[in-house]
Structure 1
Amino acid sequence: MRILVVGAGATGGFFGARLVRAGADVTFLVRPHRATALRDRGLRITGLAEEEVIAPELVTAAELSDRPYDLVLLSVKATAFKQAIDDAAPAIGPQSAIVPMLNGMAHLDELNARFGAGPVLGGVAKVVTTLNSDGDIVRLAPLAGLTIGEQDGRPSPRVDRIRALLADAGIDAGVSADIVAAMWHKWVFITTVGALTCLMRGTVGDVNAVPGGSRLGPAILAEAAAVAAAAGFPVPADELAATTATVTQPLSSFAPSMYRDVVDGRAAEVEHVFGDLVTRARALSVDTPLLDLATLHLRVHQHRTLTM
């Protein structure tokens, strides 16, 4: 199976490296400046007592041939998504399987419109990684899972083959019979922890350390979950309980990648993750005052970042 990993950042680089280490035929589609850095230093993964360096097979958009790949793992920031699918288009054919690993749902609609629903699977990636100043991937927690599935939920031999490939690479791989719901449920989690930490400019533990802080996370969660329920994807009670526990945990150092982006002055995925959700909330007549505030806050951050 010929695999193209679009992006070699904290998520795509991590999963792609695992596949390379397992002997899979993997090529990374990257921007020229990233290609230069990876050729100089290699693709490095550190953290959790791990130190790994691979020499990745790289290609830029200008070098990409029109020979389709069997599997395309799409792992870029939402801010680079449109350019990424333009760059990857020559490598995607009718028999290709595309697994997106972005947060939110807007990318699924765009992929379906661009390539047809046939090649496009749903995907939910769960990994806690970041890039350091050298461009190396730093693991911050052991979690490393990828769940996939056909959009219509039907059993699928190609999904089973991809799951087996991922599992052989040491990735906690799963198949969902309702991957669209799973994507919605992760969206609820991401917007909840993102709004909490970005609005308050602190980790979960920082927020819960002050009077009234422990009430904010559950209030944001209630809004996000109400949007999902109105859209037809109610979050199961056990997932709501788990997210509530996450956002109310005292002394927790947890903060999502969006928080790290904001604190470090980098562009954030505000429209794809927050803007799209509050737009859907309006269409579904769901009130989301806290999520509206978080969206405005992040839009101001984005404006400042892009105009500096």
Structure 2
Amino acid sequence: MKILVMGTGGVGGYFGGLLARAGHEVKFVARGAHLDAINASGLHIESSNKGDFTVQCEATQAPNSSDIPELILFSVKMFQNEDAMDVIEPSVGPNTIILSIQNGIDNGEILSKRFSYENVMIGSAFVEGRIKCPGTVTQGGPGIAAFGEQFIGLSDRANMLNEIFKDAAWDVELHENMEGVLWKKFAYLVASASICSASHSDYGTMRSNPETRTLIIQGISEVLNVGKALGKPIMEDSVQWAENSLDRFPATGKASMAKDFLEGKPVELEGLTGRVVALGSELGVPTPVCSTLYAILKPWAVQNSL
């Protein structure tokens, strides 16, 4: 399969690297020293799940219309969406599948507005991944990808991709209600990543502290209440699923957003906690935990974006 990976960080590099290792024709979009290193000596993946391996592959900064992929793995940060869509636009054919593997709840709609609803599938990753150095990405955490259609149900192309991903050794879940899965992950991520960032704590410390754990669950419930008010297909097990995810995360691990804060990088605060606060205000749904966390973290996020 001809595949383009838009965003060669921890998520795109790991899952795209597995596809390249399995023999698919994978091209990676990267920039600067990361781009140069991949083209010079391949993409190195250090994986807690699959071991360390290197794939020889091509990286580019600007794919073009002469090379139309069958699949685009779209795995950039939410605040990079507009620029990333500009980059891939020449490479999107009428039958190209654009699979968003991102945080947040709006990416499918954003991609569909630029391209078409038929082009887009939605997904998310449960990965603690980073660019370690130019040409090298790391994978920690569960290392699981989840994906599906934007509608409730399955499709032939979803089943086809599921087989391709499994054959490439992805730990992958295909869901009939992927939007519901996105919302429960969104709720978990908004609450836990915001508190992780604000408290400078790892997940083991957060979940073992009764007051902190209670606050995380309260934040999760706020997010799900916003989803219900929007009429989204919130799943009955969402709170329990989120609590289980909190308990499964590596004890010494930290949320990617918390790491980005500490490293002075731009963060996804607006697309996560800020989005909940904005929707809650619009819908009249109280979000006291999320609103407080957003107010605490916003000055830091602004400083990191300068």
TM-score normalised by length of structure 2 = 0.90
Q: CA offset at residue 41 of structure 1? A: 4.5
Q: Distance in 2 between matches of 1:39 and 1:249?
A: 36
Root-mean-square deviation over aligned CA pairs = 2.4
- Correspondence for 1:50: 51
1:79-132 C-alpha deviation (Å, 9 max, x unpaired): 222111100000001111110011112222211111121111121222232222
Equivalent pair of 2:185/2:242 in contact (CA under 8 Å): no
SS in 2 for 1:11: helix
- Correspondence for 1:88: 88
What is the correspondence of 1:163-242 to structure 2 with a 5 Å cutoff? Answer: 163-208=162-207, 212-233=211-232, 235-242=234-241
Q: Distance in 1 between matches of 2:75 and 2:258?
A: 19
- Correspondence for 1:13: 13
Q: How many residues align?
A: 305
1:201-252 C-alpha deviation (Å, 9 max, x unpaired): 2113333565733322222222122212222336445441242355479993
Amino acid in the other structure paired with 1:189:
Y
User: CA 1:179/1:37 → structure 2, altered by over 3 Å: closer, same or farther?
Assistant: same
Q: Distance in 2 between matches of 1:127 and 1:268?
A: 17
- Correspondence for 1:276: 275
Gaps of 5+ in 1: none
- Correspondence for 2:291: 292
Q: Distance in 1 between matches of 2:47 and 2:121?
A: 31
SS in 1 for 2:214: helix
Q: Distance in 1 between matches of 2:252 and 2:233?
A: 28
- Correspondence for 2:68: 68
Q: Distance in 1 between matches of 2:135 and 2:258?
A: 18
User: CA 1:274/1:67 → structure 2, altered by over 3 Å: closer, same or farther?
Assistant: same
SS in 1 for 2:139: strand
User: CA 1:252/1:232 → structure 2, altered by over 3 Å: closer, same or farther?
Assistant: same
SS in 2 for 1:147: strand
Q: CA offset at residue 78 of structure 1? A: 1.5
Equivalent pair of 2:148/2:158 in contact (CA under 8 Å): yes
Equivalent pair of 1:126/1:146 in contact (CA under 8 Å): yes
Amino acid in the other structure paired with 1:103:
N
Equivalent pair of 2:187/2:242 in contact (CA under 8 Å): no
- Correspondence for 2:106: 106
Q: Distance in 2 between matches of 1:148 and 1:168?
A: 16
User: CA 1:183/1:262 → structure 2, altered by over 3 Å: closer, same or farther?
Assistant: same
Equivalent pair of 1:70/1:95 in contact (CA under 8 Å): yes
Identity fraction in percent? 25
User: CA 1:95/1:249 → structure 2, altered by over 3 Å: closer, same or farther?
Assistant: closer
Q: Distance in 2 between matches of 1:56 and 1:300?
A: 40
User: CA 1:12/1:211 → structure 2, altered by over 3 Å: closer, same or farther?
Assistant: closer
**Range 180-189 or range 5-14, more displaced:** 180-189
SS in 2 for 1:155: coil
Equivalent pair of 1:208/1:251 in contact (CA under 8 Å): no
**Range 129-138 or range 153-162, more displaced:** 129-138
Equivalent pair of 2:14/2:138 in contact (CA under 8 Å): no
User: CA 1:133/1:300 → structure 2, altered by over 3 Å: closer, same or farther?
Assistant: farther
Amino acid in the other structure paired with 1:109:
E
